[in-house]
Amino acid sequence: MIKRFLAILGVICLTVPSVFASDVWVNDLRSLFLSDSAVIYEINMRTFGAQDINKDGIIDKSEGEESGNFLNAISRLDELMASGVNTIHVMPVMAIGKTKALGAAGSLYSAASFSELNPQLKSDKTALSLEEQAVKFINEAHKRNIRVMIDLPACGAYDLYLKRPELFVKDSSGQPIIPSDWTDVRLLDAGDENNINPDVYNLYKGFVDYVMQLGVDGIRADVASTKPANFWKELISYSRKRDPQFMWLAEASDSWTEPVSPKSVFTPYDKLLEAGFDGFYASYFNMKDWRNASELMNHIKFTNSLKTKYGQPKAVIGSFTTHDELSPVLINGQPYSNMILWLNSTLPVNSYYVDGFDTGDNYIYLWGNKKARITYTDDEYYFVHRGKIDIFNFSRRPGGKNINFKRDFAIANGFKHFIAPIIANGKFVELKSNNSSVFAYGLSYNKTTVLVFGNMSFRTNNEAVIKVPHYNDSFLTIPVEMDTAPVSKKDKFNVNLMPGEIQVLLVNEFELK
């Protein structure tokens, strides 16, 4: 019953704003993000609306199939809105390199230009220019009350190096630096804290001008640690003079401590936040390796402590799974996806998901790393990272077959919107559990409390006694993510959790002290 109620409530809450939306879009992404109210859905525009007619996983244009583009992506916006998504993170959409490339279409993060859109994303079914198609997509997202955040690549393609070698770091022999194991890109020379390279700064400044002109609401900075803090401070300040609500998300983590190359700058997450970034990734992606509840709880408390540390509010995303991580169903099965979903929906974080998460895609491409039938780069193989969303080829639309989870995805997002005042304004309380594998926490605000219990073990059942001070059975307690509420006595809940199970309760007229 509660899930049906939440589903109906979610549809009402999520569609009403779009019905009354103004003809003139007013960006509010920064405020949304800083209140932990964003439900972010990451997409690869090249696959988001792909039409794989013969279902072989590869888009063959000679057979009338169509890869994803700005126009066919519009057909999926209603689906995202109905699922509770209010922000899209679009992976890079700029022109990409074809020399020393990875994959038959080239990596999205191998930027050949920072001022020209990727021609692969243009539909030939309209007279609109590529830029006009991009603007149309963004406008259609805004009509549905969906904000758009664009990815800013950290490095340049080899093709860009050949055109503008002055933009790149060189080794002792004068060759451009390959950062980490990203063999298809070269390291940009942004300078250091005392001397910012004006050439690279202007390259990025031009990118900011370009995407703001398109109408985007914010930027996700890829591997932000590869640029000096002052570089970002100037760039973010520049964008904020044009739009104070323009949001900046740093791909950075408190657990990343090494530069991507000995020749690279390394700016830690805290310096990025001081420079003006609104948030970062934190280290929730490490949950796959955590076994004790304390590891999760300590990280939650750590990220909460950063919210008011820097003079201006800060936030994080629920980076439990990203395009750099294996599909959660490959790590710990469907229970892991379910846990990620409800942690995103009940923690003081901005929810974050990758296209295909909501239907259980495992991102296994049967043609992966095999010789390509047709290639549009100098790579003759369908390069992929097994178990991760494909960003290298003209491949199928992401998506699994778990329709029930897609329904739960919408319900959980609807619940997040329903309790948004509690997440934004409430008190977060860690609850005591007598089992080290079982975590428990609550959020309280205005005489309403959300209780969450979960089993960190994905191999064994776990029982626990959880202390909830001042709770008793007289309070109206609604089970949200389970059929019936666990047994409770005064001040305590006795829970019996299956492997990876998470339980969510809504308690009225009760606040944690």
- Lowest average pLDDT, out of 10-19, 61-70, 262-271, goes to 10-19
pLDDT at 507: 96
The total of other beta-carbon atoms located within 10 Å of residue 77's CB is: 20
pLDDT score of 11 more than 90: no
pLDDT score of 14 more than 60: no
Token representation of residue 241: 């003079």
Confidence of residue 19 (pLDDT cuts 50, 70, 90): very low
pLDDT score of 386 more than 70: yes
pLDDT in tens, 123-159: 999 999 999 999 999 999 999 999 999 999 999 999 9
Three-state DSSP class for residue 488: strand
- pLDDT above 70 coverage of the chain, percent: 96
The mean pLDDT value for 23-42 works out to 96
**Category of 19 on φ-ψ map: left (φ > 0), alpha (ψ -120 to 50) or beta:** alpha
The residue to which tokens 């099965």 are assigned: 333
Confidence of residue 8 (pLDDT cuts 50, 70, 90): very low
pLDDT at 132: 98
Answer positive or negative: Cα dihedral of 205, 209, 210, 212: positive
Domains defined along the chain, listed by start: 2-156+191-421 (3.20.20.80), 427-508 (2.60.40.1180)
pLDDT score of 17 more than 70: no
Q: Which residue has the higher pLDDT, 10 or 107?
A: 107
HSE (side-chain half, CA atoms, 13 Å) at 171 = 9
pLDDT at 4: 44
Phi, psi of 182, rounded to the nearest 5 degrees: -85, 80
pLDDT in tens, 323-372: 999 999 999 999 999 999 999 999 999 999 999 999 999 999 999 999 99
pLDDT in tens, 460-503: 999 999 999 999 989 999 999 987 788 888 899 999 999 999 99
- Cα–Cα distance for residue pair 115/111, rounded to 1 Å: 10
- Cα–Cα distance for residue pair 398/400, rounded to 1 Å: 7
pLDDT at 513: 83
Confidence of residue 191 (pLDDT cuts 50, 70, 90): very high
Per the CB < 8 A criterion, the answer to whether 188 and 169 are in contact is yes
pLDDT at 23: 75
pLDDT in tens, 401-442: 999 999 999 999 999 999 999 999 999 999 999 999 999 999
- Cα–Cα distance for residue pair 88/493, rounded to 1 Å: 38
Confidence of residue 18 (pLDDT cuts 50, 70, 90): very low
Stated length of the chain: 513
The mean pLDDT value for 96-103 works out to 97
pLDDT at 28: 98
Outline where DSSP puts E strands in 122-243: 147-152, 156-157, 185-186, 218-221
pLDDT at 490: 86
Q: Which residue has the higher pLDDT, 488 or 79?
A: 79
- pLDDT above 90 coverage of the chain, percent: 91
pLDDT in tens, 248-260: 999 999 999 999 9
pLDDT at 9: 52
pTM score: 0.95
